[in-house]
Amino acid sequence: MTGQALLEVEGLRIDLSVNGRRYPAVQDVSFSIRRGETFGLVGESGCGKSITALALIGLLRNPLSIAGGSIRFDGQELRDLSPGGMRKLRGSRISMIFQEPMTALNPLSPVGRQIAEMFVLHKGANWREAERQAVEALARVRVPAPERRVKDFPHQLSGGMRQRVMIAMALVCGPDLLLADEPTTALDVTVQAEILDLIRELSAAQGTAVFMISHDLGLIANMCQNVGVMYAGRLVEQRAADSIFLAPRHPYTQGLLASLPLLGARSKFGRKKLKEIEGVVPPVVAFPTGCRFNPRCHAATDLCRAEDPVVTPLPDSGLVRCHYHD
Amino acid sequence: MTDTSNDTILKVENLAVHFPVGRGLLGGSRRFVHAVDGVDLELKRGECFGLVGESGCGKSTLALSILGLQAPTRGRVVVDGHEVGTAGRDRKTRARITQMVFQDPYSSLNPRQTVRRTLETPLRLHGITAKSEIDGRIGDMLARVGLRPEAAERYPHEFSGGQRQRIGIARALILEPKIVVLDEPVSALDVSIRAQIINLLLELKETLGLSYIMISHDLGVVEHMSDRVAVMYLGRIVESGPWNTIFTQPGHPYTRALIAAIPDPFKRSSGTKITGEIPNPLSPPTGCGFHPRCPEARDICRTPPAPALENRGGEHHVRCRRVDEIAIPDGLATAVG
Amino acid sequence: MKIRANLLIGGFLFAAVVIAGSLAPWLAHTDPVMDADLLYAEEPPGAAFWFGTDAQGRDIYSRVLYGARISLTVGIISQLINTVIGACLGVSAGYWGGWWDDFVSGLTNMMLAIPSLIFALAIMAILNPGLTSLLIALGLTNWSFTCRLARASTLSLKSQGYVQAAKVLGYSDVRIMLTQLLPNMLGPIIVIGTLGMGGAVLAEAALSFLGLGIRPPFPSWGSMLSDARDQITTAPWISIFPGLAIFVTVLGLNLLGDGLRDILDPQSRSRRA
């Protein structure tokens, strides 16, 4: 791939320690994001997508820790950075928005003050100047009547408005990288559409790279240029968004797509029985040997049960981790 | 409305549920939230009726009224020819007709009861006390929902989310009800598990001749499962009709906005969107409740009274004054279809 | 799983008191009431009288053993009464709400505002001193904490899906309370009950000390302490050993309560799961 990569993750491994034993919760994860690009990570609960994001922003806590690999941000290795250096980066150059903004906002402080605090903290602005900029920040994320809303407390705002406030805070310092962990899962669909538009526009206007996590394949394909599909701690397929829907190569991706009742499918093709993926998502402490998807894969062979497949490049510059990718 | 015909199993007539909000200081008048505000609907035997809308639109309150867990302020619910009340003596009668599958498979099972206990108590309560019959029914029901017989002796925490939802379905069906209310039956499950539960629900509907009322915000699931669909906004049905009419020729601007809001995996840009949020139900807008967010709103939409739900042919009803003027754009129909 | 030290020590102390009380007829050297012998009055602890003797020459060791029976009977039964009253009121108030909830909450707040010992004193002053009166007085005055806990738990549990499901399945309200709500709040109620038992042992001692509980000559730790007042400087063992017995019992119960809280806490349970 050409173009300057802002974020390069290589061979990332995150371990979970349980009673002194270490289990790889995330393993062999490599991807890169360029400026202005939106990269999406799709996966189910427990697949490791959220802890990957936390690793990127240096917020992994016991019992999780980075056990290998490298995270280079703008040419700098983040794993070499001191906690202080990481803190400086956080909020100014890398910021994050979460699924439930209510828990991420301080309930006892007006939202305007919380935004202003970011200006004081990272830009060294004085409070009066910061309060004025907070109003502008709210206006930028299209909060109506921002000069009145700055005085509101989080509980006085709707879920959509709170997520706007979170985005305003995340974008205060014009970050180079925005991490978005299921930013719209808790919101209604019409509000979700607005928030997605907002993220899309702000990223285009400021050249912000976006790392977006979701369990919703349709949403990720709609928002992102490149998509990674994660299963049981591994990236199993990495493709351009257009091709992952049209020609998925990994059995897990294929299974996911065939199992979803996509809007419009019934009126086009009639009601077909959805293809089921057998079994359940394995927990971190019981990842299967060989290919992690083999117990649920309809095409699994002895090779899949014994040997871990390696990442194979596809003709369209995508990557797939499957013994039988063609 | 015509008389209840033989194939109608549930009829909701002009149902309203108003909640008081706070007590006025110094005896000031109490204010009411109109959670459900005059809803009529009919559920036919063997059909799946999808109820769509955003949070706070009243779909859950409506479902609770149908189950008799929420007393209506006005109107009535007629199940299988009998009006249901909420009083204690009605609870058992109603339980044999109407049941419910819950959204969260984790909080909907009592953590201290084995699966057998969960399924056995309702049977005993409803007069089935012979051990052989209880065992037979439990074994049969577990097999129907795709669980092994050994599952009966285990506790909920030993199961995965999808298996718990199967137990929840078994519990809902153990009394052999005719109507099952599905409250977001798959939205709390892992994506790769959802197909299993959707297929199971559709299969059970056919084999047991059940009728479903399904609440969901996932339009893909609603389109896949429903025979007819109603869209709710601010406590009222704004559009209802057969599923293919709703999804390919939506008449109400809100229905169109809901459909357009689903991210299209094949198109990077977004469709027509609406802005703003659901108004405070304490002070609903005058005229059409949707006008502050409606891209098609004109002065006529802002003047009271609220528009009526009008028949557009077939079973298609739309609550919009400008429905004829805002003809369905062909582009949308193809984008959706 | 680690067994916590407080659970272990508390359980051991409480078990020791229970065993001492139940085996008192075999462990005791003399009859606690009848075997007064003024020849041996105020003997210090020694080989013959392990804990010494009191002013009437009764063996303190034997009296402390028999005292355990009274303390435990009062502690366990009165706290059981409290728990049943508190749980019934709390669960029904939380579940039904409305005027019943207002009434129960008001009553609870009133009970919390009056020190329960004063309340028990008042009841004992009306009734005749004795074991039954003690059980009534202590059993009616200390249910407010259990009630509050049961009400709060009910409020959070009743929105759970399985409670709704039980309603949909046609369970009666009482059945829902007994099978769906109570079993899921049993852990914290047991903890409060254990701690309350320690309180009841102390309250019994206090009432008996004041002469309103168990009447002499029957050996209750409180009445023994009361009797020992005059000899506290000349024969300190007469007060030390019953005092120690109270201390050990209450400490044991409190440690046990804390330990149970640790394992019955729903959060620690989900961590193990």
pLDDT tens sequence across C28-72 = 777 766 666 667 666 777 776 777 777 777 777 888 888 888 888
pLDDT band at B4 (very low <50, low <70, confident <90, very high): very low
Task: Report the DSSP beta bridge partners of residue B78.
Answer: B11, B83
Instruction: Say which residue, B55 or C269, is predicted with more confidence.
Output: B55
What per-residue confidence (pLDDT) applies to B336? 42
- The model's confidence at residue B117, banded by pLDDT at 50, 70 and 90, is very high
* Residue-number span of the structural domain to which A223 is assigned: 5-93+179-190+207-320
Res A20: pLDDT: 86
How confident is the model at residue A1, as a pLDDT? 41
Under the banding of pLDDT at 50, 70 and 90, the label for residue B270 is low
Q: Does residue A65 form part of some domain?
A: yes
Q: What percent of chain B has pLDDT over 70?
A: 88
pLDDT(C77) > 70: yes
pLDDT band at C273 (very low <50, low <70, confident <90, very high): very low
- The alpha carbon of B329 is separated from its chain's Cα centroid by a whole number of angstroms, namely 29
In angstroms, rounded to a whole number, what is the distance separating the alpha carbons of residues C16 and C23?
10
A45 within a domain of the structure (yes/no): yes
Q: Does residue B333 have a pLDDT over 50?
A: no
Q: Does B29 have pLDDT greater than 80?
A: no
- When pLDDT is averaged across residues C87-95 and rounded to a whole number, the result is 95
pLDDT at C272 over 50: no
Residue whose entry in the numeric block shows the structure tokens 């020791």:
C16
When the pLDDT of each residue in chain C is averaged and rounded to a whole number, the result is: 83
**Which of A191, A221, A271 lies closest to B265 in CB terms?**
A221
User: What pLDDT, on a 0 to 100 scale, did the predictor assign at position B87?
Assistant: 56
Coil, strand or helix at A221: helix
Instruction: Output the pLDDT for position B328.
Output: 62
Instruction: Answer whether residue C127 shows pLDDT above 80.
Output: yes
Give the contacts of A292 (CB within 8 A, at least 6 positions apart). Answer: A231, A232, A233, A234, A236, A282
Residue C266, pLDDT above cutoff 60: no
Q: Angle CA(B23)–CA(B28)–CA(B33) in degrees, nearest 5?
A: 50
pLDDT of residue B52: 92
**Does the CB of C96 have a partner CB in chain B at under 8 Å?**
no
pLDDT values of chain A reduced to their tens digit, one per residue, 326 residues = 445 789 999 999 999 998 889 999 999 999 999 998 999 999 888 889 999 999 999 888 888 999 999 999 998 999 999 988 998 888 889 999 888 777 788 888 999 999 998 888 888 888 999 999 899 888 888 888 888 888 999 888 888 888 888 888 888 888 899 999 988 887 888 888 888 888 888 888 888 999 999 988 888 888 899 999 999 999 999 999 888 888 899 999 999 888 888 888 888 888 888 888 888 888 888 889 999 999 999 888 999 999 989 999 988 888 999 998 77
> Do B336 and A267 make contact, defined as CB atoms within 8 angstroms?
yes
Interface residue C170 vs chain B (CB under 8 A):
yes
Task: Check residue A282 and report its DSSP letter.
Answer: P
Binned at pLDDT 50, 70 and 90, residue B6 comes out as: low
Lowest mean pLDDT among B160-174, B207-221, B288-302: B288-302
Domain membership of residue A271 (yes or no) is yes
pLDDT of residue C62: 80
Q: Which helix (H) or strand (E) holds C138?
A: helix C131-139
In a domain, A84, yes or no: yes
CA distance B11 to B79: 6
Determine whether the interchain pair B108/C184 forms a contact, defined as Cβ–Cβ distance below 8 Å.
Answer: no
Average pLDDT over residues B148-158: 91
For residues B324-329, average pLDDT: 70
Q: A100 in a domain, yes or no?
A: no
First to last CA, chain C: 12
What average pLDDT does range C98-119 have in this prediction? Answer: 90
B103 vs C223, higher pLDDT: B103
Residue A62 lies in a domain: yes
pLDDT at B200: 95
Given CB atoms, is C180 within the 8 Å cutoff of chain B?
A: yes
Query: Per-residue confidence at C265, pLDDT binned at 50, 70, 90?
Result: low
Mean pLDDT of B250-279: 77
| pLDDT at res. A99 | 81
Q: Please indicate, yes or no, if residue A101 is contained in any of the structural domains.
A: no
Alpha carbon B204 to chain centroid, angstroms: 18
Question: Is the model's pLDDT at B167 over the cut of 90?
Answer: yes
B interface test, pick of C157, C169, C181 with most B CB neighbours within 10 Å: C169
pLDDT for B15 equals 92
Q: Per the domain annotation, does A149 fall within a domain?
A: no
| Residues B280, B294: Cα–Cα separation, whole Å | 16
> Which residues of B fall within a CB distance of 8 Å from A196?
263, 270
Which residues in B lie closer than 8 A to residue A191 (C-beta atoms)? 54, 277
In chain B, which residues have their Cβ closer than 8 Å to the Cβ of C170? 91-96, 122, 125-126, 175
Residues of C in contact with B96 (CB under 8 A): 170
To the nearest 10 degrees (0 to 180), the angle between helices C60-96 and C5-22 is 120
Q: Which helix (H) or strand (E) holds A73?
A: strand A64-73
- So what's the pLDDT on residue C268? 45
Q: Considering its fold, how many domains does chain A have in total?
A: 1
pLDDT score recorded for residue B102: 93
CB C179 within 8 A of CB C147: no
pLDDT of residue A298: 87
Lowest mean pLDDT among A148-157, C126-135, C229-238: C229-238
At B2 the pLDDT is 43
Domain at A39, CATH number? 3.40.50.300
